[in-house]
Amino acid sequence: MEQNDLEEFAVTQSNEAIGFIGLGVMGKSMARNLLQAGYEVHVYTRTKEKAAELLSEGAKWAAAPKEMARKANVIISMVGYPHDVEEIYLGENGLIENGVEGTYLIDMTTSTPSLALKIAQEAEKKGMAALDAPVSGGDIGARDAKLTIMVGGELGAFEAVKPIFDSLGSNVVHQGPAGSGQHTKMCNQIAIASNMIGVTEAISYAKNAGLDPDKVLQSISSGSAGSWSLSNLVPRMVKGDFEPGFYIKHFIKDMKIALDEAERMGMDAPGLSLSKSLYEDLAEAGEENSGTQALYKHYN
């Protein structure tokens, strides 16, 4: 689809039906924000019970991605793993095979750059536009519509659906062609991986030194050591709250993608490798469904 053609399909609340696939920790809040922004929202998740709250708030149910492809002009996915993404978009009963020309497909899952490129190429053959738009910000960012959204794909498609992104996030950047959003998310995850080791070791050191962790956090979170993880995840560690804002199992998946991409580029990433090994130890100990802040348990 040419950029001029894409611009004819500009998105507004009055002309757009949005499909949302995946209602997990972040997806449910994201779909709710679209409802509250005034969009007609169709939802699908493998377990319909997970959609009950949104259905009571006005969302409409789609029994399968194939059905959604015929109901929505814009379809967003926020699922777990690349194999889920591949099935949803490229499967026989998937969105591309069953969708209509002019549809925008937006995958917000953290997936592989190569799969994002393949989806974009297959979508283009059917007169659709596909964007890879992974996010950062966790459950809090999803709830408050303050996600960072990193977008790859055609600029015309990005501009057409920008109002939708603005209903979900506060930092929305078009990074380049298809796959660029996923590559940017790998940069994000690499930075977080080593940072999580640092903030966890810092607060564990504070505890072992007999300091008040809350007072230590008050001092260091606003200085040069400050980071999102320090401000938002360390308080959860201190309280013993290891509920997932982002699952350990999904973080391991992301780190594996990043390491595979780094190896393909001939790049060494020792900090990322160490973080992945620590989280894999936690997963083997039964913590795969805990939040990433459960790294604290490795030290305590």
Catalytic residue at 185? Answer: yes
For 214-262, give the DSSP string: HHHHHHHTTSTT--HHHHHTHHHHHHT----SSBHHHHHHHHHHHHHHH
What is the distance between the alpha carbons of residues 9 and 3, in angstroms, rounded to a whole number?
A: 10
| Active-site option among 28, 66, 126, 185 | 185
Residue 169, Cβ density class (10 Å: 0-12 exposed, 13-18 middle, ≥19 buried): buried
Q: Can you name the residues that pair with 21 across neighbouring β-strands?
A: 44, 77
Distances (CA, A) of 82 to 25, 73, 161, 217: 17, 23, 23, 36
Which residues are part of the catalytic machinery? 185
